[in-house]
Chains A and B, each alone.
Chain A
Amino acid sequence: MSIDEYNGCAIVAMVGKDCVALATDTRFGVQRSTITTDFQRVFQMGPRLFVAMSGLVTDAYTVSARLKYRLNLYELRENRPVSPSVFVSMVSNLLYERRFGPYFSTPVIAGLDPTSGKPFIAGFDCIGDPSIGSDFITDGTAGEQLMGMCETFWRPDLNK
């Protein structure tokens, strides 16, 4: 069993008309055993910025905590909420620092730009390569299955 499948998850982020949606499963499991069914994988990083962490639970928490630390320092220095595109660079940098011993967790970002309100979603691989999406991003052990569903049902300008 691969390390990405040790805990398992399903994450999907979608762009709509002046809105974004981010969904995750709430299962915390260890291989085939389920420990809890109310586990949070989504972390709020700003008033309109959320990040969902897929993969290994320990790394998901470590990365989100380190990210929040860097984000807090940014907002103290800049005195304004971070914009999603800058946040993407922040995430990418944090993950690439561990290029030869990576975190087994990949973030999916969903948010609105603080100034323009434009919807924004992005996905990464475990070493920080960003893919900024215009329609939807899927991740996790059920990533391919979700991709199929999104391709079938998504169309532009869906309302909430």
Chain B
Amino acid sequence: MDFCIGIRGNDFVLLCEDMNAAQSIMLHKQDHEKMLDLNDHLLMTRTGNLGDGVQCAEFLQKNIQLYQIRNGYEMRSSAAAHYIRKYLADTLRSREPLEVNLLLGAYDVISNTPQLYYMDYLGSMATAPFCAHGYGAMFATSILDMYYHPGISVDEAIGILNKCIKELKKRLIINFSKFNVKVVDKDGIHKLPTISVEDGIHTH
């Protein structure tokens, strides 16, 4: 019942997620942040089981930071992505698979390229210019197919994001009231204003 979306530009990756924390029919919180900074240039958002998500995200964050402590430099984005993929693939055939779908937004400071990785709970991994998880993905992907172009700017990406959110408000049965938005670029991870859906789409 969650939703997350990622859009890659020339020098940034924008990640957005819904802020609902729900289990079955009960909505616990509407201002819950699921996105996690794995290191200075690696941002991860997720959908799926709340408990598995937290365990998975924190475990990965700590291990990626341990790599940095041991080696003295940040784990490169593609190395981190493959590490995360292997972790998901290993847990798949173990005691209990983790029911977490991920989007990884990264900026590789060595090659100066932004990267967006799509990963699902089985451990499938793909790089994409834009992608999304959840029921909302079916709507968002169509809108992105139409409006996305390579070399998009952050403002244009937010414009497309607003279009997606408007569509979700209109056509998706699930009610999302707030969306958390963050951007990764060469200067690190920046939090953008939360997008709120009550009484029209506005930021605050």
Contact = CB atoms under 8 A, between A and B. Distances in A.
Interface residues of A, number: 13
Contact of A58 (B92, B137, B138): B92
A39 B88 CA distance: 20
A35 B124 CA distance: 11
A148 interface: no
A7 interface: yes
Interface string A8-28: 000000000000000000001
A56 B138 CA distance: 21
Nearest to B119: A58
B93 A101 contact: yes
A115 interface: no
B124 A7 contact: yes
A82 B181 CA distance: 49
Nearest to A28: B126
Contacts, number: 41
A41 to B, nearest CB: 11
B135 to A, nearest CB: 11
A56 B88 CA distance: 14
Nearest to B101: A30
B118 interface: yes
A36 interface: yes
A137 B137 CA distance: 36
Nearest to A56: B122
Q: Name the 10 nearest CB pairs between A and B, nearest first.
A: A58-B123, A57-B124, A58-B122, A58-B124, A36-B128, A28-B126, A36-B126, A58-B89, A62-B89, A39-B126
